Amino acid sequence: MSGPALYVDADACPVKAEVLRVAERHQLRVHMVSNSGVRQALHPLVNSVVVSGSFDAADDWIAAEAGDGDIVITADIHLASRCLDMGAAVLGPTGKPFTKANIGMALSMRDLMADLRAMGTVSGHNPSFSKQDRSAFLQALERAVQQARRR
């Protein structure tokens, strides 16, 4: 297997099947990392990693392992920032890439929204995950794999 490794923050990831589709197409190693032992795919390309139940254990494992040229899939903005610092490409589950150019704003917005939720100003509801989100993710992951291979 050549090319980037894919690291998935798997506990609440809605695009695990899509990651596997792209991994199969390109014969890439996938590390599905979770705290809770979510049902993982039994597939020769998938390395299922179940870490301790401590709060950031999955994030810590991914941040320690992912490196230059790899691709991380997470909705966790702090993990995204850590992985960018290690040279990995990072995608959110809707296909939105986290980059050095936009991670600062994403961290600021996350902190602002957390403060507003704590004050009761806004509720914590996110929009439903749609077919369009799934399609955008597939396209973004395909682009990220091809860019990583060109590097």
Tokens at 129, concatenated: 């995950």
Considering the chain, what is the average pLDDT of its residues?
A: 86
pLDDT higher than 60, residue 113: no
* 52-74 pLDDT tens trace: 878 789 999 999 999 999 999 99
Confidence of residue 35 (pLDDT cuts 50, 70, 90): confident
Confidence of residue 135 (pLDDT cuts 50, 70, 90): very high
Picking from 6, 16, 12, the residue whose alpha carbon sits closest to that of residue 89 is 6
Structure confidence at residue 24 (pLDDT) = 95
* 65-108 pLDDT tens trace: 999 999 999 988 889 999 999 999 999 999 999 988 776 666 55
Higher pLDDT, 111 or 94: 94
Higher pLDDT, 1 or 102: 102
Higher pLDDT, 95 or 118: 95
d(CA 32, CA 9): 7
Confidence of residue 1 (pLDDT cuts 50, 70, 90): low
Structure confidence at residue 116 (pLDDT) = 63
User: Would you kindly state where each structural domain of the chain is located, as residue ranges?
Assistant: 6-150
d(CA 142, CA 147): 9
Q: Give the ranges where the chain is alpha helix by DSSP (H).
A: 16-26, 57-65, 77-85, 103-118, 131-150
